[in-house]
Structure 1
Amino acid sequence: MAASSSSGRLVRLAEILTESRIPGSRGDTASKLTVRLYGRGVVAKADAGGSEETRYFRRRAGQLIYSKLDCLNGAIGLIPPHLDGYESTADLPSFDIAKSVDPDFFLAFLSRPSFYLRFKAVAIGSRKANRVPADEFLATKVELPSRSEQCAIAAVLRASRERVAAAEALISALTEAKRNVMRELLTLGAARDPARLRPLRERWVVGRVAEGVEAAPEGWRLVPLTRVARLESGHTPSRDRPDWWDGDIPWISLQDTERLQGLEIFDSAETIGTEGLANSSARLLPKGTVVFQRTASVGQCSIMGRPMATSQHFANWVCGPEIEPRYLLQVFRHMTREWERLQAGSVLPDIYMPTFKKLQILLPPRSEQLRIADVGEAFDRRLEAERVHLSELRATRDALAAELLSGRLRLPAAVIARHAGADPGARAA
C-alpha cells in the first residue's frame, strides 16, 4: 500500500518512524493526552480517570502520534511542546521521526483523507471499532521528496494557513467591535450620553439587547414588539403535490441559512407556485419583512428584498410605521446571547413561536433608528467582504495543499534551493 507526494524516494513508514515505548505511570495517575479527529491537533485529555492496571507510555514533544481506533477519521498529529511528558496507552502509539523528514510536511501529508482512508482494507474490528494496527501503519509505503522540498512545501502551506488565521482574527475583531459599538447605540443612543437616560417604566424581561438595562434615553419606549410589528409564521406545502412546487414565489427554508447573512435576501433554494401558497398556511409576505430563523442555526436573519414566503422554521416580522426594518434587523443580530438564553430547555436548537409574542423592544424615534441601522450595516458590509475574502483564502489553502502534497504541483527549483541548508534535526518555525 503506497501513497505518493511528488517524485522522490519510496520508503516504508517503518524506515522513517521509530515507535516510542517509554514506560509511564499507572492509568489512575497519568497525565493523559488524546488526538483529535481530522488533523485538529493533540490535546490534553479532559477525563483524568483510569484503571491502575492500564499500562501507559510517556510521550515526547515532536513525536508523531495516531489513534488506532480513529485513524480512519484522521486522528493523526504531532505532540506539541506543552504536552511533553504526557502519556497515552498503546492504542495511541507515538513515533520518533527521522531527521530526513520535515515534521510539518509529514503531518500535512499524513492528514490527507487520501492517505489515512487507505487503511480501510487492513483495519481490524467491527464497523464502529475499526483499529489500524501499528505494524500495518508502519508497513505503508510513501513517496517523499527531498527534505529541502519538504521544507519548502511546509513553508508555503504554513504561510497559507497564517493568511487564513489572520483573516479569521480580523473577522473576530470586527465582530467584537460591532458588538461593543451596537451595545452602546442600542442602550445609550447615537449621542451615547448617559445624562439622557431615564428609568424604564417597566421591567425588560424578554428580548434584551444587554444585561442590567434599567434606563433608556429620553424619548425611547420599551414596548411589546407585536405592538409595532406583525408576527407571521410560514408553512411547507405538501411534498406529495409536485405541481405546487417550482413556481415563481421564493420560499425561504433551512437551505437558505447562508443567504440570511446578507442585509437583504432576494432568492431561495426552492420556490412554490400560487396553488402551493393557496393550499397551505404559508403567507406571501411583503418586501421589507424581517425574516428570522428560529430553528437549527437560530438567529440568522435578513430583510426580504421582494415578496417572499417561508417555511415554518421562521418567525417573520412585518414592520409597522413606528419601527424601521433595518433597525429591527440590527437589534436581532445583536441579541445573540438572548437567543441562546431563549433556547434553554429545547432538545434541539429552537425557539418556539409563543416566545416571540413576548418579545419587548427598546424603540427610539424613527430618525435615530435609521442612524443606528446605518452604523450596524456598515459593520455588516465590511464583515461580509471579509468573509468572502476568507472563503477565497481557504479555497487557495486547500487547493495548494492538495496539489503540493500529491506532487501534481512542484515548487520552482529556486524556492526549494532556499531550504537546502535547513537543519535536518530542527523543525521549521
Structure 2
Amino acid sequence: MSAVTELERDVTNLPNGWRRVRLGAVFAERKEKGRVGLPVASVSIEHGLVLRSSLDRRVASDLPPEGHALVRKGDIAYNMMRMWQGACGLAEADCIISPAYVVMTPSADVEPVFAHIALRSEPMMSLLHGYSQGIVDDRLRLYSDAFAQVPINLPPLDEQRRIAEVLRAVDEAIAANRAALDQVARARAAILHSAFEETVWEPVALGELGSWQSGGTPSKDDESKWGGDVPWVCPRDMKTPVIRQTHSTLTPLALGGSCKLAPKGTLMIVVRGMILAKAIPTATTAMDATFNQDMKAFRPNGRALPKFVQLCLQHQERQLLRVVNTATHGTKKLDTDTLLTVSVPLPNLETQQALADAVSDLDFASVKYGEEHIRLSTIKQALMSDLLSGRVRVPENRKTL
C-alpha cells in the first residue's frame, strides 16, 4: 500500500483549478434491477462495455431481465475482479448486465467519457490494484466501498470535456486503423479460400515439389562465430510473413556443417517448439540467411514457388496443428515426414506468382497498418500521461463534447 500512500500524498503539484477527490465523492453505485426489452451487455479488458450480441462468442444468460443489473447511459460498469486491469466500460445507451458487475453513476461534476478514460489509465490501474482486496492477483476484488476510497485528480468540468475530446479523437483514429487492418485480413482470407477451396488444381504431395533442409546452431562459446553480418533465423524471428532482419547474426566462420546458408526468398517453417501448440509459423527470407535446428528450409525443385507453398501451408494450418507431436521432454514437434505428405493443389507457375503477388500486397498493407497502430497507441499513451496529470493543458477554445 506504500505506492498508494505516496500517490495520495502528492497533492502539492496539482494544476491550477484541479482538485483531488475520492471517487465516492463523484460516483454513486446504481443498484437497480434490469428491465424487459433492454439488451444484455458484458465487460472485458479489451473492449470495455459491449453488447453480448456483438461478440463473436455468444454467451447466453439464464437470468431473467429483472435478475440483471440496470445500466443507464453514461454509467460506468466494471468487473470487480479485473478492474485493476482496466475491465470497465462506459454505457453509450441503457442496457442490462450481470449482477456480478458493479455499476457506478458519475455525478454532474464529472464528464463520463473523461472518467472512463481516467479509470483505464496506467497510473489509475496501479492505484486500483492497491485498493483491491485479496492475497494474489487472481483473487483480487475491488468492492464498491473500496472504489469509493480511491483518489482521483479532477480538472474543472469544461477541461474534462476538452481532454476527453482530444483522446476520443485518437481513439477514433485507432478504431479506423483497426477496421482497415481487419478488412485487409478478411480480403487475404477470402483470396486464400477462393484459391484453395474453389478451384480444381492437381493435388501434389509437398515432397514431390522439393526437400526440407535442417539448420544448426554454432557453439555459443565460440565468439568468433557470432555477431557478424550473416542473418541467423530462429523461431522468435518468425513474426511476419517476410523476414527482413534477425535478432542474432553469425560470422562467415560459422558457415558449414549444420549451419547452411539459404538464398534470399527461401521458405522457412518452425518444426520444434511450444509455439507449435497454437500456430505453425512460416516466413520467406528477404536476404540470404542461416537458420537454427528448430527450423526447416524448403528447397523447391522448380515446380512450385516458395511463396505459393507458404500460402498453402498457412491455409492448412489447422490441419497441420492436428498432426503436431509431443517429444519425450514435452516440446512440440512437426515431423519432416508429415510435411512431405502435405497435399498442395498445384496450378501453373504464372498462377502461383499472381496469387503470391496479390497476397504480398495485402501483407505489406497489413504491416503498415500494424506500424500505424503502434504509432497511434504510443501517441495516445503520451497524451494520456500529459493531459491526465495536467502537465499539458488543452486550450479553452478547443472543441468540446
TM-score bucket (shorter structure)? 0.7 to 0.9
- Listed as ranges, the matches of 1:2-401 within 5 Å are 2=8, 7=16, 8-22=18-32, 35-37=43-45, 40-41=48-49, 44=52, 46=59, 48=61, 58-61=69-72, 62-79=74-91, 81=93, 84-89=95-100, 92-127=101-136, 128-181=138-191, 183-184=193-194, 186=195, 209-210=196-197, 213=199, 215-216=200-201, 221-239=202-220, 244-258=225-239, 260-262=240-242, 265-273=243-251, 281-294=258-271, 296=275, 298-324=279-305, 328-333=306-311, 335-344=313-322, 346=324, 351-401=334-384
Distance 2:59 2:182 in 1: 27
Summarize the Cα distance change of 1:276–1:48 in structure 2 as closer, same or farther, 3 Å threshold. farther
Distance 1:178 1:47 in 2: 32
Distance 1:173 1:119 in 2: 36
Equivalent position amino acid for 1:35 in 2: V
Residue 120 (structure 1) shift: 4.2
Is residue 68–residue 131 contact of structure 1 (8 Å, CA) maintained in 2?
A: yes
Residue-by-residue CA offset, 1:92-133 (whole Å, 9 max, x unaligned)? 322211122111111110111211212444433212423334
TM score, norm. by length of structure 1: 0.73
Identity value in percent:
22
Consecutive unaligned residues in structure 1, runs of 5 or more: 26-30, 187-208, 420-427
Is residue 280–residue 321 contact of structure 2 (8 Å, CA) maintained in 1?
A: no
Distance 1:311 1:49 in 2: 53
Residue 343 (structure 1) shift: 0.7
Is residue 283–residue 310 contact of structure 2 (8 Å, CA) maintained in 1?
A: no
Summarize the Cα distance change of 1:179–1:410 in structure 2 as closer, same or farther, 3 Å threshold. same
Is residue 42–residue 80 contact of structure 1 (8 Å, CA) maintained in 2?
A: no
Summarize the Cα distance change of 1:24–1:390 in structure 2 as closer, same or farther, 3 Å threshold. closer
Is residue 48–residue 90 contact of structure 2 (8 Å, CA) maintained in 1?
A: no
Residue 278 (structure 1) shift: 5.1
Is residue 6–residue 144 contact of structure 1 (8 Å, CA) maintained in 2?
A: no
State the SS of the aligned residue for 2:176: helix
Residue 311 (structure 1) shift: 2.6
Residue 305 (structure 1) shift: 3.3
Residue-by-residue CA offset, 1:138-158 (whole Å, 9 max, x unaligned)? 122222112222122222222
Residue-by-residue CA offset, 1:7-45 (whole Å, 9 max, x unaligned)? 4132221111112233579xxxxx986532367435659
TM score, norm. by length of structure 2: 0.78
Residue 175 (structure 1) shift: 3.1
Residue 318 (structure 1) shift: 1.6
Is residue 49–residue 77 contact of structure 2 (8 Å, CA) maintained in 1?
A: no
Residue-by-residue CA offset, 1:293-351 (whole Å, 9 max, x unaligned)? 45627354333233322233433212223333xxx314523654411222136589864
Residue 181 (structure 1) shift: 4.1
Structure 2 counterpart of 1:196: none
Is residue 34–residue 69 contact of structure 2 (8 Å, CA) maintained in 1?
A: yes
Distance 2:190 2:82 in 1: 42
Distance 1:241 1:59 in 2: 67
Is residue 235–residue 294 contact of structure 2 (8 Å, CA) maintained in 1?
A: yes
Is residue 214–residue 293 contact of structure 2 (8 Å, CA) maintained in 1?
A: yes
Is residue 43–residue 89 contact of structure 2 (8 Å, CA) maintained in 1?
A: yes
Tell me the number of residue pairs that the alignment of Structure 1 and Structure 2 aligns.
Answer: 371
Structure 2 counterpart of 1:422: none
Distance 1:119 1:372 in 2: 51
Distance 1:378 1:114 in 2: 40
